[in-house]
Structure 1
Amino acid sequence: MIRTIHTTKSEFGRYLPEKFVFIGYASFEERSSVIPLAIEKERIKQAYVFRSKGNCDKEAAKSINVYLNDCVDFIELEISDSISTAREITKTVKKILLDNNIFLVVDITTFTHETLLILLKLIMSNKEKFNSVYYLYNGADKYSVSEELDKAWLSKGCKDVRNVIGYPGLMRPVAKNCLILLTGFELERATRLIELIEPDRLLLGNAEDPISSNNAELMQHFKNKFEVWKNNYNSINCSSFDFSCKDVEKTINILTDIINSNKEENCIIVPLNTKLSTIAAGIVAIQNKNIQVCYSIPETYNINNYSSPSSNVTVVSLV
C-alpha cells in the first residue's frame, strides 16, 4: 500500500513516527539540508547521511553536522564506482537492521538516481524488518536558477550507461530490447543514452504534474522541446506516453501497463526525472524481476545553479 501526502516544510513532521532512524544525502544542492534541518532532532535516534566524494555542498553538510552532531554519521561514497557505492549503502542498511524496532525515514531529495535505487532495493528486500518506512522529498522551487528559459540545463552529456546493482533484469538474447525513458529536463543526456543502448523499440515518457507551480513554465518549455526531439526517432519503433512527476502510484500503474503490453521484449527502464518517479520505476522493477534498470552517468552537473529549495515536502509511505 502506498500513501502519499503533499504538505509543507513546517507540517511534514506530523506524518512521521515519534522516533525514527534517518537517512539523507548531502549533495551539491542546497535542498539536501532542507529536510534534516526541519526535523526536531530529538526525534532522530540515529542519522546516516551519505555524501559524494568531491561533489558535496560543504555548507549543507556542515549545517547538518552542526544540527545533528551527536547522532549523525557521514558515509562517503565514490559514486563513480558502483560496486563500492553499493557496498557502503549495504553496510549502512545492515547496521540499521541490528535494531529490532525500526521506524525509518529517508530524505530522497538529492540522492542520485542510482544510489536511491540501490537503497530502495535493500529496504524493499528487508521490508518485513521495518515497522514503517517514509520517503521524503523537497521539490525544487526552481531549476536552473537565474538562467534564461532557453538556456536552462541540469546536466550535460552522458559518459556511459550501466546497469543499476540489484536490477539486472532477465535479458533474453532472442528477444528485442525495449527502452523506457522517464525524461526530464536533460534531453541531451537522453539522446546519448539512446545512442549507447540502441534499442529495437523506444518508449519516451514525458513528465506532467509539476511539484511546484513555479516550474510550470519550464516544464512547458521542455515539453515543447520534447515534442520536437522525439521526431528524431521516427526511423525506429518509437512512441511516447505521459507520467507523473509527483504521484508515485500513478506512475507505477502507467509503467506496469506498459510492461504488461510488452511481455515479449526485454524491458529496460531509465529514470531521468524526479526522485518520486524514480521510486516508482524502482518498485515496478522490484515487482517484476524481468525488468532491467539502468543509470546514465552525466558528464557534468549544473552545480552552481541546479535548483533552489521550495517549502513543499512530499511524504510517501511504502512499508
Structure 2
Amino acid sequence: MNDLAVRKFSPETSSHDFDIVVLAAGFEERSFEFLNKSNFGTSTHILIIDFENELKINKVISKSFRDCAIAKVGVGLVHNVTYERSTVDNFSKTLGAALRGIPVSCSNMAIDISGMPTHVVYIVLDSVRKARPYDDQTLIYTSASTYLPSFEEYEELVSKQGDDIEYLPKSMALEMSENLVLEPFSGYRKSDSNSCLILFAGYEAHRSTGVIEAINPTLLLLIYGCPPSEKMFWRQSLSERLHNKFERMLRCAREIVSTQNIRESLDTLDQYYNYLIDDYDVTIAPLGSKLQTVATFLFWERYPEVQINFPLPIGYDPTRKPLGVDQTYCVNLPGRLSYSQQSQSNLEEKK
C-alpha cells in the first residue's frame, strides 16, 4: 500500500521526467516556485489554470506563468484553462477536455496545488483521476515562509482577547460569501439521519461560522492542525482559540493531526467514519492545510456518500497573502482505480 509519505523536494536538483505538469497561476510567491525552478523535458506539457475575477493582478500573473512555461517547453506544449467562479460547474468539463487533448502516452503527471484554492484542488484532482484512472500522480506543494497573522499579532490578540479570540486582523480571505457544494461532491443524504460536520479548523473563523450555521450539525468534530515546526506551534493554539466557542456551544469532539501527514488525517477520518456513518449524514469542510485537504479528497474518493462543503469568501486580498517561499514537498498519489482496490483490501483486512 502506498504510504502517502510527504517528502522534501528540490525543484532545481530533484530528478523528474514529468510528461504533464498541472498548476495554477496563483498570486502568492510560492505558487511560482515549482514552475520557475524546475528543468522540464522538451516534451513536457504544461497546463496552467488562470483565474478570472476582479483582481487586476491576475492578468499580469497569468502572463508571467505563461511566459515562463513557454521559455521552458515551447509555445506548442503550453495549455491554458480559465477558472471563473460564476461558471465553476463548467470548469471541470473544460479541464477534462484539456487533459484529453494531451496524448494518453503522457502518463507521468505532476500536480502543483500551491496556487489552488481548496475547491479547485478538489476539481483538479477529480478531473485528473477521472481522465487517467490507472496513472499515479506526483503531488507538489510549496509552503510559504511567513503566514498571517504574524506571531507578534497573535501575542497581541491573546493579551487583548484571552482564550477566546473573536476578531482577527484582516486576512487574505475576505468575508464569508457562500457554502459551495459542487455536484460531484454532494454526497448522499438520508432523510432520517442526524448530521455530523467534520471541520478541519483553520484560521478564518468567519468561514467556520458560516458552514456551522448552514449545517447546524447534531455533532461537530473539530480537527486541528499541528504544524511540523515547533516555532509554528502557536498557530495551532490560534486555531483552537478561534474555535473554542463552538466546543462549548455544540455537542463536539476534537482531534489534533499533523498539517502535513496525509496518512494521519486519513486514519482519523476512517476511525470516526466507522462510528458515525450508520446514524449520521457526514459533511466535511476542509478549511485546514493544503495537505489535509488532499487527505479529505482521498477520503471522499473512498466514501463518496460523504458531502464536501466549501465555505467560500467573497474574494481575496493579495496584500494579506502569505509571503516568501520555504520548502517544497512531494507525495505520490496512487491512481484512482489502484487506490480504490488498495483501500478495499485494507478494509477487508480490518474486518
Fold-level similarity (TM above 0.5): yes
C-alpha deviation, 1:172, in angstroms? 0.5
2:296 to 281, 288, 291: 281
Amino acid at match of 1:39: S
Gaps of 5+ in 1: none
Which sits farther off after the overlay, 165-174 or 134-143? 165-174
The aligned residue for residue 256 of structure 2 is 242
The verdict on how the C-alpha distance between 1:126 and 1:155 changes in structure 2, with shifts beyond 3 A counting, is same
Task: Give, in angstroms, the shift of residue 38 of structure 1.
Answer: 1.2
Aligned twin of 2:124: 119
State whether residues 137 and 315 of structure 1, in contact with CA within 8 Å, keep that contact through their aligned partners in structure 2: yes
Q: 1:302 to 1:124 in 2, by over 3 A?
A: same
Larger radius of gyration: 2
Match runs of 1:295-306 below 5 Å: 295-306=310-321
- Whether the 8 Å contact between 1:8 and 1:313 is mirrored in structure 2 is yes
Match of 1:310 in 2: 325
Kindly tell me: are residues 23 and 4 of structure 1, through their superposed partners in 2, closer, same or farther at Cα, counting changes over 3 Å?
A: same
The CA deviation at 1:281 is 0.2
Distance 1:28 1:101, change over 3 A: closer
1:260 is paired with a residue whose SS is helix
1:4 match: secondary structure: coil
Q: Secondary structure at the match of 1:34?
A: helix
How far is the alpha carbon of 1:165 from its aligned partner? 3.5
Residue 189 of structure 2 aligns to a residue in which SS? Answer: coil
Contact 2:79 2:98 in 1 (8 A): no
Deviates more, 1:195-204 or 1:274-283: 195-204
**Greater strand fraction, Structure 1 or Structure 2:** 1
Determine the structure 2 residue equivalent to 1:141. Answer: 145
Contact 2:50 2:83 in 1 (8 A): yes
Q: Does 1:294 align with 2:298?
A: no
Query: Does the CA contact (< 8 Å) of 2:22 and 2:111 recur in 1?
Result: yes
Distance apart, 1:45 and its partner CA: 1.3
TM-score normalised per structure 2: 0.81
What corresponds to 2:49 in structure 1?
Answer: 50
**How many residue pairs end up in the alignment?**
311
Q: If the length of structure 1 is used for normalisation, what is the TM-score?
A: 0.88
Displacement of 1:19 = 3.6
1:225 alignment partner in structure 2: 241
CA deviation profile, 1:240-259 (whole Å, cap 9, x unmatched):
11122111111111111111
Moved more, 27-36 or 117-126: 117-126
- In the alignment, what sits opposite 1:108? 113
Counterpart code for 1:30:
E
CA RMSD of aligned residues (A): 2.3
Work out whether residues 21 and 111 of structure 2, in 8 Å CA contact, stay in contact via their aligned partners in 1: yes
Match of 2:5, SS state, is strand
Residue of structure 2 in register with 1:259 after alignment: 273
Structure 1 pair 198/47, CA: closer, same or farther in 2 (3 Å)? same
Instruction: Name the counterpart of 2:163.
Output: none
- 1:114, 1:230 → 2: CA distance? 26
2:203 counterpart residue number? 185
> Shift in Å at residue 233 of structure 1?
4.8
Deviations along 1:27-73, one digit per CA (max 9) or x if unpaired, are 22222111111110336611001011034544543332222112322
Q: Which moved more, 1:83-92 or 1:188-197?
A: 83-92
Q: Cα offset for 1:7?
A: 1.6
Q: How many percent of aligned residue pairs carry the same amino acid? A: 19
Corresponding residue SS for 2:120: helix
Of 92, 96, 104, the match for 2:98 = 92
